[in-house]
């Protein structure tokens, strides 16, 4: 399995499959590169798909400290430098959106486009930013993790799907196909990353983005509110926003065909029909 070395995080694992313009997929909190398996299979026919595990997640090393979003962004920069990537599209989901935004300034000369899926520039709501969640939501999740990690992750998996998706059996389908096989981080790592997620604020980056940008968000997302993507789209010059009806936090899983089509159309505007 390929790894690259960082200054302070040890070894970061990644999957590298396919040929063509690079697509770099960044997963969300407590998941791993495996969550993008359906996209790797689909897009590796035309693109070079690179899927890293964030530090402390999947098969990457778990350092004793260093779980701030900016530090994960530094790992991403090291990956781009190590593989000498250029002309890439960065695709982040949830926490991966924050990581992508944190790395944008350092990576922008290596990027052709950026895709922000079910993301937020700031997770916690405040007076000047009402599009996040109350801080008590983070505290509640941390408490559930400490009490029973297995149950907490199961509940979190279900939260990713809208009521309509649950009724249609999407949770059971994705649990069997993808989610049930994901290697979860150690509880202390998950807690530290959750705390870092609550502190992160990437709002100042948005107006500096000068490459094609696509934002995709489920209209029924209760983890990262769709209003957050509307807010980001209003600040990213020339960006496109796709809101998916009756869809929760993971449109690339629950509506994989529609999501892949939306991403394909966007990539064709960036790269042409490669």
pLDDT (tens digit, 9 = 90+) per residue, 123-138? 999 999 999 999 999 9
Q: Count CB neighbours of 249 within 10 A.
A: 25
Q: State whether the Cα torsion 190-4-102-64 is positive or negative.
A: positive
CA distance 168 to 149: 27
Q: What is the mean pLDDT of the chain?
A: 93
How many Cα atoms within 13 Å fall on the side-chain side of residue 228? 30
H or E stretch covering 166: helix 163-167
Strand 22-26, strand 11-17: pairing:
unpaired
pLDDT the model gives residue 222: 94
In the chain, domain spans: 3-271
Q: Is the pLDDT at 172 greater than 80, yes or no?
A: yes
Q: State phi, psi for 181 to the nearest 5 degrees.
A: -100, 0
H or E stretch covering 144: helix 135-147
Please tell me the pTM assigned to this model.
0.95
DSSP 3-state of 51: strand
Band of pLDDT at residue 170, cut at 50, 70 and 90? confident
Tell me the pLDDT tens digit for each residue of 243-256: 999 999 999 999 99
Strands (E) in the chain, as ranges, are 3-5, 11-17, 22-26, 48-52, 88-93, 111-117, 213-218, 240-244
Q: What percent of the chain has pLDDT over 70?
A: 97
Angle between helices 170-177 and 149-159 (to 10 degrees): 130
Beta carbons of 19 and 48 less than 8 angstroms apart: yes
CA distance 153 to 29: 11
User: 231 or 12, which is more confident?
Assistant: 231
**CATH number for the segment(s) 3-271:** 3.40.50.1820
Closest among 194, 224, 195 to 131, alpha carbons compared: 224
Tell me the pLDDT tens digit for each residue of 40-60: 999 999 999 999 999 999 888
DSSP 3-state of 271: helix
Beta carbons of 216 and 244 less than 8 angstroms apart: yes
DSSP assignment letter at 186: P
Q: Is the pLDDT at 6 greater than 80, yes or no?
A: no
Q: How far is CA 151 from CA 147, 157, 169, in A?
A: 9, 10, 20
Q: What percent of the chain has pLDDT over 90?
A: 80
pLDDT the model gives residue 234: 98
For residues 131-160, average pLDDT: 92
Q: How far is CA 132 from CA 122, 224, 228, in A?
A: 7, 7, 7
CA distance 207 to 9: 30
37-46, 95-104, 172-181, 239-248: the lowest-pLDDT one = 172-181
């Amino acid at each position: 399995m390929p790894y690259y070395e960082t200054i302070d995080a040890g070894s970061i694992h990644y999957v590298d499959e396919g040929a063509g313009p690079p697509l770099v997929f960044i997963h969300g909190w407590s998941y791993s590169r495996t969550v993008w398996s359906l996209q790797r299979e689909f897009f590796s026919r035309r693109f070079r798909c690179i899927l890293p595990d964030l530090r402390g997640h999947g098969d990457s090393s778990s350092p004793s400290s260093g779980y701030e979003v900016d530090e994960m962004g530094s790992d991403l920069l090291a990956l781009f430098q190590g593989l000498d990537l250029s002309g890439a599209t960065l695709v982040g989901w949830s926490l991966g959106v924050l990581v992508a935004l944190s790395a944008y300034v350092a990576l922008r000369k290596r990027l052709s486009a950026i895709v922000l899926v079910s993301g937020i520039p700031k997770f916690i709501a405040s007076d000047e930013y009402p599009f996040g969640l109350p801080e008590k939501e983070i505290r509640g999740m941390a408490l559930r993790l400490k009490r029973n990690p297995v149950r907490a992750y199961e509940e979190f998996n279900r939260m990713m799907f809208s009521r309509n998706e649950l009724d249609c059996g999407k949770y059971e389908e994705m649990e069997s196909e993808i989610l049930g096989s994901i290697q979860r981080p150690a509880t202390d790592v998950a807690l530290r990353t959750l705390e870092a997620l609550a502190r992160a604020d990437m709002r100042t980056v948005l107006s500096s983005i000068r490459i094609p940008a696509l934002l995709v968000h489920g209209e029924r997302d209760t983890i990262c509110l769709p209003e957050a993507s509307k807010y980001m789209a209003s600040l990213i010059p020339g960006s496109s926003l796709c809101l998916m009806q009756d869809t929760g936090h993971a449109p690339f899983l629950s509506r994989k065909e529609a999501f892949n089509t939306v991403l394909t159309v966007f990539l064709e505007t960036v790269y042409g029909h490669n």
